[in-house]
Amino acid sequence: MPEATLLPGYLIVGPDEVKRDTAVARLRKRLEASGMADFNFDRRDMTKEQNPDEVLGSLNTLPMGADFRLVVLDGCDRLPKATSEALVSYFANPSTDTVCLVIAASLAKNTRLYKAIAKLGAKAVIDCSSKKRWELPKQVQGMARRHGKTISLAAAEELVSRVGESTRMLDNELRKLASMVEEPEIEREDVEQFVVRTAEVKPWDFLDAVSARNPVRALELYRLLPPRSEVRLFSLMLTRLRELITAKALDARGQGRQLAQTLGVKDWQVKHHISWARGFSMQELVDALRAAEDVETALKGSRDSVVAFTAWIARIASKPSHR
């Protein structure tokens, strides 16, 4: 199957570093097929001072023993006007022997440079937008396959929680895990054993652990949150309990799909609420809400406020014992 015809320029734009790296690697691999990649590849850090004439000179240099020359311009978010205008003029009549990759974490669509590259063709702009945080675990599962492994959803969620939202850092950790884990699938225990937490714990991770009735994880995350967070966490937990009560009621009536609309939020914000609510009885949720009165009193000045809050959370997250 013949390879697609290349455009003379592409704008690789967006904060997702792995997507940007993948786009560059794809073009680099195509260049390497010629066997003369070292003579036809130029990569420049545009965050450093660059002579516009030298950049244009590289773009207009003829390839040596290859079908095209590849010029990569990193960090084009805020180019000096002279450099930006030089590139705008170049893309009005670009070399047919060069492929120029303009890379930026962000570049407004109304800029002259964006418009100049977009005019080169329908596929000239390569969107590297980041996934929303809740979408990242699924993306991590896809990234793991590039390292010859699969990763469970629970492990992917734990990895995002520990590393954060930088896809480059996530990919680096996946590479390490792939070399350390002998089994074909990476499990949550592997992430907990081999990955050091570098990202700040989010309150939502804590709330989700309580909602999933995982007391060990909930208390572990609570200990990692900033000190004296109890008042804010208490307020967030009250809101979550009310959401779960609403989810429980709607689910009982077969109207679970109306949850987001009823709460006035986006679907992705409550995508696990129905399954979490099913893990509680309605009486448990109501009792937890009633018990909040005593916790609130303790938080208003008692020396036992941390103990009261911790005990409340442990009771909510722990599943009832059946004798």
Domains of the chain are 9-127 (3.40.50.300), 133-194 (1.10.8.60), 203-317 (1.20.272.10)
Per the CB < 8 A criterion, the answer to whether 103 and 73 are in contact is: yes
Q: What share of the chain in percent tops pLDDT 70?
A: 98
Give 263-300 as a DSSP string: HTS-GGGGTTHHHHHTTS-HHHHHHHHHHHHHHHHHHT
Q: For 253-276, what is the mean pLDDT? A: 94
Rounded CA-CA distance 186/306 in Å is 36
Rounded CA-CA distance 319/14 in Å is 43
Give 84-135 as a DSSP string: HHHHHHHHHS--TTEEEEEEES---TTSHHHHHHHTT-TTSEEE-PPPPGGG
CA distances from 83 to 15, 48, 63, 73, 78 (A): 22, 12, 23, 11, 10
What is the 3-state secondary structure of 148-196? CCEECHHHHHHHHHHHCCCHHHHHHHHHHHHHHCCCCEECHHHHHHHCC
Could you tell me whether strands 185-186 and 9-13 are parallel, antiparallel, or unpaired per DSSP bridges?
unpaired
Per the CB < 8 A criterion, the answer to whether 152 and 181 are in contact is: no
The sheet that has 9-13: what strands, in order across it? 41-45, 69-74, 98-104, 9-13, 125-127
Residue 1 confidence (pLDDT) above 70: no
In b/e form, how buried is each residue of 155-182, taking b as 16+ CB within 10 angstroms? bbbbbbbbbbebbebbbebbeebeeebe
The pTM assigned to this predicted structure is: 0.66
What sign for the dihedral angle of Cα 12, 15, 17, 18?
negative
Per the CB < 8 A criterion, the answer to whether 159 and 191 are in contact is: yes
Residue 2 confidence (pLDDT) above 60: no
Phi-psi region at 314: left, alpha or beta (left = phi > 0; alpha = psi -120 to 50): alpha
139, β-bridge pairs: none
The string of pLDDT tens digits covering residues 144-189 is 999 999 999 999 999 999 999 999 999 999 999 999 999 999 999 9
Across 151-160, 225-234, 245-254, least confident range: 225-234
The string of pLDDT tens digits covering residues 85-140 is 999 999 999 999 999 999 999 999 999 999 999 999 999 999 999 888 888 999 99
Q: Which residues does 88 contact at the CB level (< 8 Å), separation at least 6?
A: 112, 113, 116
Q: Shortest CA distance to 17 belongs to which of 171, 133, 140, 141?
A: 171
In b/e form, how buried is each residue of 122-131, taking b as 16+ CB within 10 angstroms? eebbbebebb
The token pair at 9 is 């320029």
